[in-house]
Amino acid sequence: MAAKAIMVQGTASSVGKSLVAAALCRIFARTGLRVAPFKAQNMSNNAAALPDGSEIGRAQYLQALAARAEPRAEMNPILLKPESDLRSQVILMGKPYATLKAAEYYGRKAFLWEAVVQACAVLSADADLLVVEGAGSPAEINLAACDIVNMAVARHLGSPVILVADIDPGGVFAQVVGTLALLSEEDRALVRGIVINKFRGDIGLLEPGIGMLERLSGIPVLGVIPMLKGLALPDEDGATIKVGGSAAGDVPGASGEKRLDIVIIKLPHIANFDDFDVLALEPAAALRYVDEAGDLGQPDVIILPGTKSTMADLAWLEERGFADGIRWLARTGTAVVGICGGFQMLGESIDDPERIEGGGGSMKGLCLLPVRTVFKPDKKVSPRRGRAETSLGGRLAPLAGIVLEGYEIHNGEAEVNGPSFAQLETEEGIVGDGARSSDGGVWGTYLHDIFSSDEFRKAWLATFGARAREESRKAALDASIDALADAVEAALDLEKLREIIGLAGLEPKRKGEP
């Protein structure tokens, strides 16, 4: 018997579809059901590397963790990674497929749809329930003929849809009524429940509107989810990053001491920015994302994050005055860290002879590390484990030999004319990774998620005199997923939702059972 399915769609982007879907994954997994998340097409530069060398969106990776399921490429068969306003790299079943403009992509709808259908079939074969996420809004009438992620998936699976709307910016009732009005009669019939998300205030003031919305739409409101804060769960969209502000280190921490001021450059094509979520949880540290050089101040640390377009973002650093500012701050004692593309930028040069990033050519780097990067077609995608170099000295001496874990996703190969930062375990054996300056004030690595390595994070913060929390990142993440699930479960009419899905009397499958 095919798995049951419930689809989470939204009235717009960033209304909370991903986290509502993650909550449902955990809620139903806790009942013993075998749950699998699914999103046919995702657009994000936040990707997770899987052990088989494939990559999926971080949102689906989080949902897999919430479902207590092994992440796999079928959970996100199409991942679009924007390289500019006009083109995206298409990751198909976890592997690079092509770099396409929008018209080219939509011209391959039939081929891409077959991948979606096959992925659905594979997941359904070994699950009781698929929790399916849509993208953007199902009411984008200009794209309806090209749809392979919203109502097309719901129709294919015969899945009921719950529609999530964000009340925080206002206009929530118009969001819902307008969305429903633009759907075809067939698609509107699939919408079986409405969820109002991110509510704060007196719910009594909302109730008259809920009753009117139900009468206008003929669809029940399944619940109102409150604005949830402090869950430390990653966003998948860089547009949600807040920038600017004064030097955060001037704000005292919980124990009264000055907090570590960490600045992260919000690059135009920033990728995998959830690398730093774990640092945001540290009471002794304060993170600021900046996109104006004038907001740099004099921080304790500057981090150059990963990017989908290293050369374009390096040019942006120069144009916006960041490059000179970073070089000056490095000379005056600010620590500078580069992750993946940020590591490449810290080097002496970047060459793209095969036009991997589109424009080709060569660029001078920030010249803070003795590294030359050459882009090549082969993409490295893999979880990694290793240790910081035992020879680390200067500021980095306390990190020597510490265990590291994370993942690589990059095209460039670095020629390092100096000591590496870490030794990583690879299929070819132990290889050097990253680079560091002689005094340890500047270092870089290809290893994403390095700060989630608890021992490393604690030792790194200690080099600045900052004390880290004792709770592990893994435990904190799982606790946040449970807290999210608890809040959503309390807010929704779960009995009605189970009825909509058709779960009454459903017994969980045993592994391998059809």
Enumerate the active-site residues. Answer: 340, 448
Percent helix, strand, coil in the chain, to 5, is 35, 30, 35
At residue 400, what is the residue type?
A: A
CB 379 within 8 A of CB 410: yes
C-alpha–C-alpha distance, residues 291 and 244, integer Å? 7
Paired sense of beta strands 429-433 and 435-436, if any: unpaired
Token digits of residue 186: 């067939």
Q: Is the dihedral of CA 216, 222, 226, 232 positive or negative?
A: negative
Round to whole Å and give the CA distance between 100 and 415: 30
Note the residue count of the chain: 514
From CA 19, how far away is CA 227, in angstroms rounded?
A: 12
Name the region of 139 (left: φ>0; alpha: ψ -120 to 50; beta: rest).
alpha
208-242 b/e (C-beta count within 10 Å ≥ 16 → b): eebeebeeebebbbbbbbeebeebbbbbbebeeee
N-to-C CA span, the chain: 7
DSSP per-residue letters across 176-211: HHHHHHHS-HHHHTTEEEEEEEEE-S-GGGTHHHHH
